[in-house]
A and B are shown apart, each in its own frame.
Chain A
């Protein structure tokens, strides 16, 4: 299975997937920490997280999969939602909360 197939499986099998540096408990980058905190603030505690620092192939592969050069990246219902800036903005507008319950 190619890395692109692996990523496709991850985002289709889990409602909420966060590709991040580190883990929600021990994030290793401020932007990844911000993304995990926003999900928690939205009441999402059991999201599927992928630590890209533990898997160089995923780290590179997700950038190609999403056409997005940075980490973190959030997927909801198989759809790419954005990185740290977009999550912050959607959260402040109250739109992320709606996406997460949909």
Chain B
């Protein structure tokens, strides 16, 4: 079974994150992701960057991943 820690490691390996939170029960996961790479990108493009980092794992191992993405500026302003 996939753990939140594993998903965290996979995302961090493919995307430079300033802050990364992962929670989940093995089926459904929730992530909060803060990355400078999100600057100037639409929400769709931001999520695509995360999906790209996860690659094939999105198809097989991860059933459901909810995410909230923030630029460092958006995160600081929360």
Contacts and interface: CB of A to CB of B under 8 A. Distances in A.
Interface residues of A, number: 14
Contacts, number: 31
Secondary structure dominating the interface of B: helix
Contacts of A31: 64
Given A67-B48, A68-B48, A68-B51, A85 B66 contact: yes
A82 B51 contact: no
Interface size bracket, B side = 10 to 19
Contacts of A68: 44, 47-48, 51
Contacts of A67: 48
Interface of A: 31, 67-70, 80-86, 89-90
Interface of B: 43-44, 47-48, 51, 54, 58-59, 64-68
